[in-house]
Amino acid sequence: MARTLRLQFPGAIYHVTFRGNERRIIFRQDADRQRFLDQLAESRDLFQVRLFLVCLMSNHVHLLLETPCGNLAAFMGRLLTAYAVYFNRHYRRAGHLTQGRYHAKMVEGDAYLLKLSRYIHLNPVCGKPWQGIVASDRIKALRAYRWSTYRGYVGLEKSWPGIDEEPLLAMLQTNGESSCERYQKYVEAGLIDNDEGFPRVYRQSRLALGSAKFIDGVRQRYDQLLRGTRRPEDAALRRIGRLRSPEAVLPVVAQVLQVRLEMFYARRRNSLLRAAAIWALSRHADLNQRQIAKILMMNTGAAVSHQLARWRNAVNTSPRWQALQTEMDRLLTLSDNY
């Protein structure tokens, strides 16, 4: 079955979630959480992403963000790969760290965004472990939880660097209170009122969260994207955003890998050069497997898929290949010279 296509465009707002493979823990200690936040900050700056909310749980993560450059896939690819390489090396493990692909639900930037922020910030004190716990104890635990942006939003600690709090705080009428106090009351009221309406709406929404008009607009964009994808095997590689021509992509890959261009066209046993070129063409030139096979003089799209899998495995297990991929992403995403 083809994977759901990523709908990307400048200014899109997403609620992004991902969890550990088989729901396993992805943060074993506070040093892991801090390392993830450092890599999140680096990726945010590299891809010019606006971060509104962050919530780290033991086995999953919530991010609320905006992509002014329409580059969610590049941002998340870099972030998840960097953390997986760190985690696998630090704990001497191999294989996938996260379960499947990350989830990204588009959000309308109005009252739905505010309700979603409450839903995310309450995550540390919701779920089965908290059933039967009185609201006052849950509020106390929420205020003490260190690994979300909530404490910064409500003034219990200094705001996290790089977190854009103003858009959400500005949505609330303060009535003489500070915006931090008003937001704290709004979020914590969710533990007392026990509003099940929003979580139910959230679970039922597939592509987007917002008004009927907004969801219809997202659906139309998604249908247009589907019409532009002819076969399921092409879907996994397609990307919306600022694209480069193949003639512009390959020289950058050659520059980063310090090889000659002609080396991408020859089959070499145990070499990852072609795999790197395939990854860059799929991400930055919006080419499908058959198109890439034709450019690199390969036999089939299936051969391209095999090479792409080899590349992803190498990046997930090797800091060297991960660093090279990050450099290719940086040059092809930000440079105006190609």
> What is the secondary structure of 287-301 as a DSSP string?
--HHHHHHHTT-S-H
Q: What is the pLDDT of residue 199?
A: 64
| Structural domains of the chain in order of their starting residue, each with its CATH number | 12-225 (3.30.70.1290), 232-334 (1.10.1750.10)
Q: What is the pLDDT of residue 14?
A: 93
**Strand (E) or helix (H) holding 312:** helix 301-317
Contact (Cβ atoms closer than 8 angstroms) between residue 207 and residue 222: yes
Q: Within 10 Å of residue 247's Cβ, how many Cβ atoms?
A: 10
Please give the DSSP secondary-structure letter assigned to residue 5.
P
- Per the confidence metrics, is the pTM higher than 0.85? no
Q: What is the pLDDT of residue 187?
A: 94
- Which pairs from 211-217 meet CB under 8 Å and 24+ separation? 211/108, 211/110, 211/112, 214/108
pLDDT by residue for the chain (338 residues), tens only, comes to 345 567 788 888 999 999 998 889 999 999 999 999 999 999 999 889 999 999 999 999 999 999 998 889 889 988 998 898 899 999 988 878 888 788 998 888 777 888 899 999 999 998 888 888 999 999 999 999 999 999 999 999 999 999 999 999 988 877 788 999 999 999 999 888 765 566 666 666 666 776 777 777 777 776 776 665 443 333 333 333 456 788 888 889 999 999 888 888 777 878 899 999 998 988 888 778 888 888 888 877 788 888 888 888 888 888 888 888 888 888 887 544 33
Q: What is the pLDDT of residue 1?
A: 37
What separation in angstroms does the CA of 31 have from each of 36, 99, 107, 134, 320?
9, 22, 31, 31, 22
Q: How far apart are CA 93 and CA 242, in angstroms?
A: 36
